[in-house]
Chains A and B, each alone.
Chain A
Amino acid sequence: MSDLFEILFTAGFWAATIRIVSPLIFGTLGELICERAGVLNLGIEGIMTVGAMAGWMWVYQGGDLWTGVIFAACVGALFGLLHAIFTVHLCLSQHVTGIGITLFGSSLSYFIYRMLLPDATTPPKIEPFEPLLIPWFSELPIVGEALFSQTALTYLALLTVPVVWYVLFRTPVGLAVRMSGENPVAVEAQGINVLAVRTGAVMVGSALMAVGGAFITMSWFDAFYFGMINGRGWICVALVIFASWQPGKALLGALLFAGLEAMQVRAQQSAGAIIPYQFFLMLPYIMSIVAMIVMARKTKYPQALLVPFRRGERV
């Protein structure tokens, strides 16, 4: 037990936590934006896979890292557009469409990967993002290694939290997005096109999810593996509920999870002989369920979540 306590004071643990949290931040914020606008996006698991593959493949084919991230975001936005056409414009089931997008997105990623690299037995590697040392700050003890020696994409993830918060809660665009998820009729009465707002929100959210996927292949690891998203998308959906649709709380929730996962990896090494590793790997999934139970009584769902908006229809 004292071993576990000591882990909390190692810089390596905190550095790993911040690394693991980055894709969760992108994914959770992406889902949060979609749901704030009233659209549940269960395509997240597939869109993260697409982003992971697209960004990695771009760099592997000779593109540079940042255009790779942008490419992944664009592809993610396209999948978001597909989701929006189905759920926002055609008013089809958000649940089934999302699952369909996940099945389609992940299988398409695997197909394209195999198509372009038919003979690769060991996954080929790219040069991933290098850690970007922030001058002076990176030399601080513990905090320096944990927070100021990460890759640029991690800084971007951390920066996205206040940006999303600011846009959602302090700008007219954000107000329109949030109201589309609460009371779309009122938005329409203001002369704002609800369908356009929702479509935009789903596209931006999906782009963020794809960047989260790209982080995994371009900054965390340097190769694309089959099944590498491994339920992270679903954990993000649970985190949004845990966070009560607040970006700040989403960051906290994601940090809690990432810390747990980083702890889990280290605990496996010290306690692995007594407790089988599978039980450590179960933790994030079980914790996600527990998190939803804990928050269930308090959560205030966006009122129009899952409710399609048909223009001119009486409520």
Chain B
Amino acid sequence: MVIEPRQSVSIWRAGLAPVWAILASMAICAVLIAWAGASVPNAYALLIKGAFGSAFAIKETLTRSIPLIFTGLAVSVAFRAKFYNIGAEGQLYAGALAATFFGTGLITLPPALMILLLILTGAIAGGALLIVPVLLKTHLKVDEVVTTLLLNFVVLLLVSYLIEGPWKDPMSLGWPQAASIIDEGVFPLLLEKGRLHLGLIIAILFAILVWLMMRFTVLGYEIRAVGYNAKAAEFAGINVNRTVIITALISGGLAGIAGVSETAGLKGYLTLDLSPGFGYTGIAVAMLAQLNPLAVIPAAIFLSAVYVGSDAMSRAVNIPTYIADVLVGVSVLAVLCSVMLSQYRIRWLK
């Protein structure tokens, strides 16, 4: 078996790669659905109906996609520079901690400024969490995957301590949660009914900003250069360590904003179940988007639809909700394959 690069890759072939990956993932999950004793077409119809079948469902899908857009962006920026930040989950909670610290009465500003302040502090907190891993990588060559992963557990325990101890809301009747974000800091709702909030617009704005940065600025060029070939980038005069550090700060900041948006936009206060693994799903989002910041938006909406839809599906036909997580995991592997097959071909030797 020999793997050869294709002479030319048409835009169609490259663009359709994630679609093939999604179809393959759905086919693999179909086996599990069939095993659960449900009819596969029926189950997928229920999934689509649960995600897009009504105005309420669409709003819910879009609401769930907001944190995924942020974490997806965080991962795609970092992976572009081959900085494997798997700590978006922890950075999300760091952002939520910052939002809770500044947003529960410490400072009161007019609404627009207050929201801006929360976003800024959340981004700083998320980025700050990556300082240790990125410096360890650039200066001591310690693998960032392990350090960022381990920090996820540390941050989650810190959150658990704070909301059970010093930051516990005395009004919460014993339930471990932090005090509510003050009214000035709460993201306004976009529509009268439902939970869809300002976070969606901010997320889309950030996707466009990140795309512009990657595409048209020197920094974006440097990030891409470092990712493609760090040695060549160094040779061309790019300060590789500096670029990796800036990339990490941007990535952590984006994940931090996800935490702010979930705390100040959706829940209104910090709890331990703020994120059901949005940081990890962000990896799948970024891979499906092939690390393109604009493509992160549809990828996030798709995976959000999988989660929202599978909730409805599992209630209706009795399939464990974990089917959504399986689909996310399989899609990461499938998209790796499909993107490779779009750029290479496999020739069998006899």
User: Footprint of B on A, CB under 8 Å?
Assistant: 42, 46, 82, 86, 89-93, 95-97, 99-108, 110-111, 114-115, 118, 230-231, 234-235, 237-238, 241, 276, 278-279, 281-282, 285-286, 288-289, 292-293, 296-297, 310-312
Contacts and interface: CB of A to CB of B under 8 A. Distances in A.
B322 A107 contact: yes
Contacts of A86: 333, 336-337
13 contacts: A46-B329, A92-B336, A96-B84, A97-B333, A99-B280, A99-B283, A111-B325, A278-B158, A279-B157, A285-B151, A285-B154, A292-B146, A311-B2
A310 B344 CA distance: 13
Given A90-B3, A231-B153, A114 B320 contact: yes
B322 A89 contact: no
B221 interface: no
B154 A100 contact: no
A59 to B, nearest CB: 21
Contact of B322 (A42, A114, A235, A281): A114
A238 B333 contact: no
Contact of A99 (B86, B318, B323): B86
Interface stretch (B61-69, B136-144, B191-199, B232-240): B136-144
B116 interface: no
A118 B320 contact: yes
B153 A103 contact: no
Contacts of B1: 89
Interface in B305-350: 318, 320, 322-323, 325-326, 328-330, 332-333, 336-337, 340
Interface size class of B (residues with CB under 8 A): 35 or more
B131 interface: no
B145 interface: yes
Given A95-B145, A96-B79, A296-B142, 19 more contacts: A86-B333, A95-B84, A96-B287, A97-B333, A99-B86, A99-B283, A100-B332, A102-B329, A103-B332, A107-B329, A114-B320, A234-B150, A238-B146, A276-B161, A278-B158, A282-B157, A289-B132, A292-B136, A293-B140
A292 B132 CA distance: 12
Contact of B320 (A82, A96, A110): A110
Nearest to A105: B329
B228 to A, nearest CB: 13
B298 interface: no
B36 interface: yes
Contact of A276 (B3, B147, B165): B165
Contact of A278 (B132, B149, B160, B336): B160
B47 interface: no
Nearest to B28: A104
Contact of B32 (A42, A103, A111): A111
B341 to A, nearest CB: 9
Nearest to B157: A278
Contacts of A241: 142-143, 146
User: Which of B86, B151, B161, B333 has the largest number of chain A CB atoms within 10 A?
Assistant: B333
Nearest to A42: B145
A96 B336 contact: yes
A235 B154 CA distance: 13
B175 interface: no
B284 interface: yes
A107 B337 contact: no
Contacts of A106: 325, 329
Nearest to B328: A103
Contacts of B132: 289
Interface of B: 1-3, 32, 35-36, 79, 84, 86, 132, 136, 140-143, 145-147, 149-151, 153-154, 157-158, 160-161, 164-165, 280, 283-284, 287, 318, 320, 322-323, 325-326, 328-330, 332-333, 336-337, 340
Q: List 4 tightest A-B contacts by C-beta distance, closest first.
A: A104-B329, A107-B325, A103-B329, A114-B320
Q: Which of B140, B287, B318, B322 has the most CB of A within 10 A?
A: B322
B280 A103 contact: yes
A234 to B, nearest CB: 5
B332 A99 contact: yes
Contact of A103 (B143, B164, B325): B325
Contact of B154 (A99, A108, A282, A311): A282
A241 B158 CA distance: 26
B61 to A, nearest CB: 20
Contacts of A89: 1
B254 to A, nearest CB: 18
A311 B325 CA distance: 36
Nearest to B159: A278
Nearest to B326: A107
A89 B2 CA distance: 9
Contacts of B320: 110-111, 114-115, 118
A288 B149 CA distance: 11
Contacts of A278: 157-158, 160-161, 164
A93 B146 contact: no
A285 B133 CA distance: 13
Most interface-central of B1, B132, B283, B332 (chain A CB within 10 A): B332
Contacts of A311: 2
Given A89-B1, A278-B160, A288-B146, A107 B32 contact: no
A90 B337 contact: yes
A230 B143 CA distance: 20
Given A92-B336, A296-B136, A296-B142, A286 B154 contact: yes
Contacts of A286: 150, 154
Given A91-B3, A99-B86, A104-B326, A293 B333 contact: no
A278 B320 CA distance: 31
Q: Which of A91, A278, A312 has the most CB of B within 10 A?
A: A278
A110 B325 contact: yes
